[in-house]
């Protein structure tokens, strides 16, 4: 890479940000008004993270397209950071949810759909017992709580660079071998030294050393890291993880909130994993807030020993598990999950999304190679990501070495200015069942023009510098 690249990137970023301003006056005004009512100008703090300096105000979204109040149409590869992996407004979910709203959204009673959904969850994801929550964060917290109940251990082990939602134990990272708070997150009066352990992904000796002391209730892991740059497990790594966990009496919670995009049964089914807990959220509700935690027969039995299962001859059961969720398992959630699993995220839909993502990844690699840029493209199921280093990372430290904040911001805003949305905190592209070649072609065209513009700017900077230094 040229030495004048950082300056070129900064200059282009400034220009693209002013262009973003000019293109989106209504969105900008709306974000400014939002400052009066919202902590971060919009209903969620994540929404302030878009590279243009303010989020678009959306008017509508359908399938893989989104339309903003400034009248611009986008190919949406952000898809609500996976919450909309079914596509926006999937017909089957809209119908099922609308009908259920009319029949009662939340009843503190099961509905008839519950039996179909329970059977399908076990069939798809391979674990026999399930519970609903209203978010993946909550489902992770439920799994951790149950792991502690049945192991009597306090600690949770996570991987450096992970993200599992608002799970206190997972807000940690490794810095020079020491555990620190991730992204400077406030510790929230939690004694992380007591409740957390963190090791690098793909580091078997570190994992062994952390679990051999038998004080970890569960490992909470994505099977293929997605949240700090996509990091694949080394061949055999997940076998080692499962073996060490089993040998040390540590439970394994696989969080498939993002890796569900690997296939109809998530990464677990695709790769024959045998976790103790399986967590999924976001996409599985088709836009309705849902988290799910599944558990194995032996975990369920251990839990029932600690917190007995209701005896059908008793009228009530007084013990509860210590986590709430009044709307968890609501009729609306169950109807939405049924529609998603039965009609939207089907085997055929995954085949389409995976083929499209694979083609896109291959074409992105061609564009990048054509321009001689040292970038790597990762692909997993319906998900693709560009990373700004030449080789596949093996852990978060490799990702950090390849990170280039200004370049990533520039790419995001450059793409938005040309009608392509990418999740603001990733360079990940996600396909939904209605994403098609016109969307991926739009992305590729913009990627190509980005590479040309970037290299054109680098060349003209170099020429300027040469003529300035000429005698
Ligand atoms: C792997 C993983 N787990 C859990 C979560 C938390 O999901 P939610 O925000 O729905 O609680 C996320 C969110 O991005 C995630 O990526």
400-408, long-range: CB < 8 A, 24+ apart: 400/161, 400/228, 402/229, 402/376, 403/229, 404/9, 406/6, 406/9, 406/10, 406/13, 407/9, 408/51
Is the CB of 164 inside a 6 Å radius of any atom of ligand 1?
yes
Residues 6+ apart with CB under 8 A from 113: 331, 334, 335, 338
Say whether pLDDT at 69 is over 70: yes
Q: Is the CB of 260 under 6 A from ligand 1?
A: no
- pLDDT of 308: 80
Point out the ligand 1 atom lying closest to the alpha carbon of residue 162.
1
The reported pLDDT for the residue numbered 317 is: 62
Average pLDDT over residues 200-209: 98
Task: Say if ligand 1 is within 6 A of residue 163 CB.
Answer: yes
In the prediction, which pLDDT does 405 show?
92
**What pLDDT is recorded for position 463?**
83
Q: What pLDDT score was predicted for residue 321?
A: 82
**What is the torsion angle, in degrees rounded to the nearest 10, for the CA atoms of residue 235, residue 236, residue 237 and residue 242?**
150
- 103 CA to middle of ligand 1, Å? 30
The pLDDT of residue 464 is above 90:
no
Quickly state the pLDDT bin for 316 (edges 50, 70, 90): low
Q: How far is the CA of 10 from the centre of ligand 1 (A)?
A: 32
Contact 383, 261 (CB under 8 A): yes
Please indicate whether residue 258, judged by its CB atom, sits closer than 6 Å to ligand 1.
yes
Atom of ligand 1 lying closest to residue 165 CA: 6
CA distance linking residue 434 with residue 49, whole number of Å? 26
Percent of the chain with pLDDT over 70: 98
Q: Is the pLDDT assigned to residue 196 strictly greater than 70?
A: yes
Whether 315 has a pLDDT exceeding 70, the answer reads no
pLDDT at res. 319: 62
Give the per-residue pLDDT at 115: 98
What is the model's pTM?
0.97
Ligand 1 centroid distance, CA of 19 (Å): 32
Does ligand 1 come within 6 angstroms of the Cβ of 133?
Answer: no
pLDDT at 467: 83
Q: Do the beta carbons of residue 68 and residue 52 sit within 8 Å?
A: no
290 CA → ligand 1 middle, Å: 11
Banded pLDDT at 426 (limits 50, 70, 90): confident
Residues with Cβ within 8 Å of residue 369, at least 6 apart in sequence? none
Average pLDDT over residues 309-321: 69
Mean pLDDT, residues 144-171 taken together: 98
281 lines ligand 1 (CB under 6 A): yes
Q: Confirm if 446 and 365 have CB atoms less than 8 A apart.
A: no
State in Å: Cα 448 to ligand 1 middle: 32
Atom of ligand 1 nearest to the CA of 83: 10
Q: What separation in Å is there between the alpha carbon of 164 and the centre of ligand 1?
A: 5
pLDDT above 70 (res 318): no
Once rounded to an integer, what is the mean pLDDT over residues 204-224?
Answer: 98
Least confident of 77-86, 141-150, 244-253, 300-309: 300-309
Torsion of CA 243, 248, 250, 252, to 10 degrees: -10
Please tell me the predicted confidence (pLDDT) of residue 244: 98
Over range 15-40, report the average pLDDT.
Answer: 97
Answer whether 57 contacts ligand 1 (Cβ < 6 A): no
Pairing of strands 428-430, 129-133: unpaired
Ligand 1, residue 227: give the atom nearest the CA.
16
* Token digits of residue 48: 């302030």
Cα of 104 vs centre of ligand 1, distance in Å, is 28
Share of the chain above pLDDT 90, in %: 89
Atom of ligand 1 nearest to the CA of 291: 10
Instruction: Assign 204 a pLDDT band (cuts: 50, 70, 90).
Output: very high
Residue 158 and residue 155: Cα distance in Å, rounded?
10
**Residue 302 structure tokens:** 């251990």
> Is 395 touching ligand 1 by the criterion CB < 6 Å?
no
Please spell the DSSP secondary structure of 203-240, one letter per residue.
-HHHHHHHHTTS-EEEEEE-SSB-BTB-BPPPTTHHHH
Tracing tokens 């370049």 back to the chain, one arrives at: 407
**Nearest partner of 83 among 432, 415, 329, 436, judged by Cα:** 432
Compute the distance from residue 201 Cα to the ligand 1 centre, in Å: 18
- Of 330, 392, 385, whose CA–CA distance to 357 is shortest? 385
Q: How confident is the model at residue 320 (pLDDT cuts 50, 70, 90)?
A: confident
Nearest CA to ligand 1 atom 14: 165
For all residues of the chain together, what is the average pLDDT?
95
227 CA to centre of ligand 1 in angstroms: 9
């Amino acid at each position: 890479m040229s030495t004048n690249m950082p300056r070129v990137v900064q200059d282009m970023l400034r220009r693209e940000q002013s262009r973003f301003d000019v293109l989106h006056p209504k969105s900008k005004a709306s974000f400014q008004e939002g400052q009066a009512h919202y902590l971060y100008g919009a209903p969620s703090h994540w929404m302030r993270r878009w590279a243009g300096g303010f989020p678009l105000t959306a008017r509508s979204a359908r399938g893989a397209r989104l339309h903003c109040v400034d009248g611009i149409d986008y190919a949406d590869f952000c898809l609500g950071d996976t919450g909309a992996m079914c596509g926006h407004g999937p017909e089957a979910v809209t119908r099922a949810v609308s009908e259920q709203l009319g029949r009662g959204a939340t009843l503190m009673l099961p509905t008839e759909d519950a039996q179909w959904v329970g059977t399908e969850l076990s069939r798809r994801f391979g674990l026999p017992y399930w519970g609903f929550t209203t978010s993946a964060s909550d489902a992770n917290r439920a799994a951790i709580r149950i792991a502690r109940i049945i192991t009597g251990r306090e600690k949770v082990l996570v991987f450096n660079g992970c993200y599992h939602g608002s799970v206190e134990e997972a807000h940690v990272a490794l810095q020079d071998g020491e555990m620190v708070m991730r992204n400077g997150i406030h510790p929230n009066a939690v004694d992380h030294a007591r409740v957390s352990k963190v090791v690098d992904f793909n580091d078997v000796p570190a994992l062994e050393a952390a679990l051999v002391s038998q004080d970890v209730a569960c490992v909470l892991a994505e099977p293929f890291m997605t949240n700090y740059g996509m990091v694949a497990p080394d061949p055999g790594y997940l076998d080692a993880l499962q073996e060490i966990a089993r040998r040390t009496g540590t439970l394994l919670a696989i969080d498939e909130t993002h890796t569900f995009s690997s296939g109809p049964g998530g990464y677990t089914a695709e790769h024959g994993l045998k976790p103790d807990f399986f967590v999924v959220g976001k996409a599985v509700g088709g836009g309705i807030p849902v988290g799910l935690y599944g558990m194995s027969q032996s975990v369920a039995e251990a839990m029932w020993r600690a917190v007995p299962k209701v005896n059908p001859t008793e009228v009530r059961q007084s013990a509860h598990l210590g986590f709430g969720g009044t709307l968890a398992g609501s009729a609306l959630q169950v109807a939405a999950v049924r529609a998603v699993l039965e009609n939207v995220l089907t085997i055929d839909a995954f085949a389409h999304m995976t083929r499209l993502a694979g083609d896109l990844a291959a074409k992105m690699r061609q564009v990048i190679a054509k321009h001689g840029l040292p970038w790597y493209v990762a692909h997993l199921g319906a998900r693709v990501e560009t990373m700004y280093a030449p080789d596949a990372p093996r852990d978060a430290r490799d990702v950090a070495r390849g990170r280039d904040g200004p370049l990533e911001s520039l790419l995001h805003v450059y793409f938005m200015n040309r009608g392509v949305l990418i999740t603001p905190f990733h360079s990940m592209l996600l396909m939904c069942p209605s994403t098609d070649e016109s969307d991926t072609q739009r992305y590729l065209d913009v990627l190509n023009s980005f590479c040309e513009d970037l290299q054109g700017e680098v060349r003209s900077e170099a020429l300027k510098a040469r003529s300035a230094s000429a005698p």
